[in-house]
């Protein structure tokens, strides 16, 4: 079944469903049809990769989910169901709230998003200040930790009993802790900021919170961005080309961090990248996009071992392999089409070595060709037969 069909659930509940989402940009040159009715389902705790060349719609998909399309962008139709609610029916204010609590996004260039005149600590403190409930809870935990340390060092039983009574009193506030007084808030916020950096395996976190973004390396800035993004335990993290500007060693470290998020915190993550190598090791499932369509969607192993769509096959032939003799890498002929005048029916047809008349007449639907492995290509459409080459 096409379009609206469900992917075989790998595990858990769906957290995010994109149903037939169409997005256009209005430009002086005409309407750019950037998303051509895409369908995707993301399950709690899974890591999904969105791959494809630049201009295929990956980042537009992410921007649509988090309500960050530019002024000239328009969602023409579809639904984006996040935790059972259609985000496209939410007001801008509600989406903004969601972005600061449940959905977090990390971008390619941290310098664009970090404020150059504020220290890392000041920026992290802002993140925590917005969430008053969490701040109150953190202040309570901070006080309890301190009291327990004092109790360990108490000089006699009388003092120890006094501290235990205070601990019991504070424990009683757990359900509804009060906001800390202004002068104590700073300590609490600093401890929260350092804790968030330590989660991201940032050494010497207490020093880093006193530094400005320009004093950190590119990799460290990206770690800080991830720490800020997950500081409030979002339900979904979207990472848009976060390793693109980094050298390979730092890339590996950032990917390692994402693995930690996945394994230790069971985070749900959408990774957007043009680099198939990035998703190979990390993702449960991978969606391949081309010119605004999802053309293949499968578990990562299936996609790499047996790519079905001619575009995915072309992408994988362009990846160097360490296990093979070095040869000239293949590339996919042509370039991504102009989406003001997209090619008819299958948008890949001008570049596809198998294209025939049907491909220019009818858009192929996303079909389950093998269990959990979907592709949109007439080569796999029942009843459509490619003429033998003459």
Interaction of residue 343 with ligand SF4, rule CB under 6 A:
no
Q: Which two tokens stand for residue 11?
A: 């595990």
Q: Which CA distances in Å does 170 have to 141, 163, 176, 189?
A: 9, 11, 10, 19
Which of 202, 205, 227, 377 is the binder for ligand SF4 (CB under 6 A)? 377
Q: Is 379 in the site for ligand SF4 (CB under 6 A)?
A: yes
User: Applying CB under 6 A, which of residues 35, 63, 355, 369 lies at the interface with ligand SF4?
Assistant: 355
Of residues 208 and 339, the one with the C-beta less far from ligand SF4: 339
**Count of other CB atoms within 10 angstroms of residue 229:** 23
Residue 364 engages ligand SF4 in binding (rule: CB under 6 A): yes
Nearer to ligand SF4, 213 or 314 (CB): 314
Taking the least distance from each CB to ligand SF4, the nearer of 269 and 355 is 355
Count of residues that interact with ligand SF4, criterion CB under 6 A? 13
Nearer to ligand SF4, 223 or 309 (CB): 309
- 315 with 51: CB under 8 angstroms? yes
C-beta closer to ligand SF4: residue 209 or 377: 377
Residue 193 in the binding site for ligand SF4 (CB under 6 A)? no
How far apart, in whole angstroms, are the C-alpha atoms of residue 193 and residue 187? 10
How many Å is the Cα radius of gyration of the chain? 25
Please work out, in degrees rounded to the nearest 5, the angle formed at the alpha carbon of residue 380 by the alpha carbons of 317 and 3: 100
Written as one string, the DSSP assignment of 88-101 is: GGS-HHHHHHHHHH
Residue of 25, 107, 142, 348 that binds ligand SF4 (CB under 6 A): 348
Binding residue (CB under 6 A) for ligand SF4 from 289, 308, 346, 369: 346
Cα–Cα distance, 356 to 390 (Å, whole number) = 12
Q: Which is nearer to ligand SF4, 258 or 288 (CB)?
A: 288
Query: Which residues between 299 and 328 bind ligand SF4 (CB under 6 A)?
Result: 309-310
Strand order through the sheet with 30-43: 30-43, 14-27, 73-82, 85-86
Of the candidate residues 33, 199, 262, 378, the single one contacting ligand SF4 (CB under 6 A): 378
Is there a contact between 167 and 150 (Cβ–Cβ < 8 Å)?
no
Binding residues for ligand SF4, rule: CB under 6 A, are 309-310, 346, 348-349, 352, 354-355, 359, 364, 377-379
């Amino acid at each position: 079944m096409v379009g609206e069909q469900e992917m075989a659930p790998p595990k858990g509940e769906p957290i995010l469903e994109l149903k037939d989402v169409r997005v256009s940009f209005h430009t002086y040159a005409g309407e750019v049809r950037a998303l051509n009715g895409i369908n995707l389902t993301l399950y709690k705790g899974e890591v999904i990769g969105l791959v494809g060349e630049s201009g295929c719609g990956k980042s537009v998909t992410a921007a649509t989910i988090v309500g960050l399309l530019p002024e000239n962008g328009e969602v023409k139709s579809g639904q984006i169901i996040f935790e059972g609610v259609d985000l496209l029916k939410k007001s801008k204010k509600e989406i903004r709230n969601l972005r600061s609590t449940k959905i977090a996004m990390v971008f390619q260039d941290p310098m664009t998003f970090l404020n150059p005149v504020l220290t890392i600590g000041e920026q992290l403190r802002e993140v925590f200040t917005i969430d008053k409930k969490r701040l109150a809870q953190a202040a309570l935990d901070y006080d309890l930790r301190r009291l327990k340390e004092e109790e360990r060092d108490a000089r006699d039983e009388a003092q120890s009993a006094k501290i235990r009574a205070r601990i019991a009193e504070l424990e009683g506030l757990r359900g509804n802790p009060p906001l800390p007084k202004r002068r104590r808030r700073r300590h609490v916020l600093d401890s929260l900021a350092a804790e968030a950096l330590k989660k991201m395996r940032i050494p010497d976190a207490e020093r880093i919170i006193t530094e400005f973004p320009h004093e950190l390396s590119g990799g460290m800035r990206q770690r800080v961005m991830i720490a800020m993004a997950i500081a409030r335990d979002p339900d979904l993290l979207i990472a848009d080309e976060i390793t693109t500007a980094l050298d390979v060693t730092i890339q590996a470290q950032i990917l390692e961090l994402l693995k930690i998020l996945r394994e230790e915190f069971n985070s749900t993550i959408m990774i957007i990248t043009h680099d198939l190598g990035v998703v190979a090791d990390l993702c449960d499932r991978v969606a391949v996009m081309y010119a605004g369509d999802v053309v293949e969607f499968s578990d990562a192993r299936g996609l790499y071992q047996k790519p079905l769509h001619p575009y995915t096959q072309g992408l994988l032939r362009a990846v160097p392999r360490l296990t093979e003799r070095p040869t000239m890498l293949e590339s996919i002929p042509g370039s991504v089409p102009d989406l003001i005048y997209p090619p008819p029916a299958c948008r890949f047809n001008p570049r596809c070595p198998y294209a025939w008349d049907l491909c220019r007449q009818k858009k192929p639907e996303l079909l389950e060709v093998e269990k959990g492995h979907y592709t949109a290509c007439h080569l796999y459409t029942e009843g459509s037969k490619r003429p033998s080459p003459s």
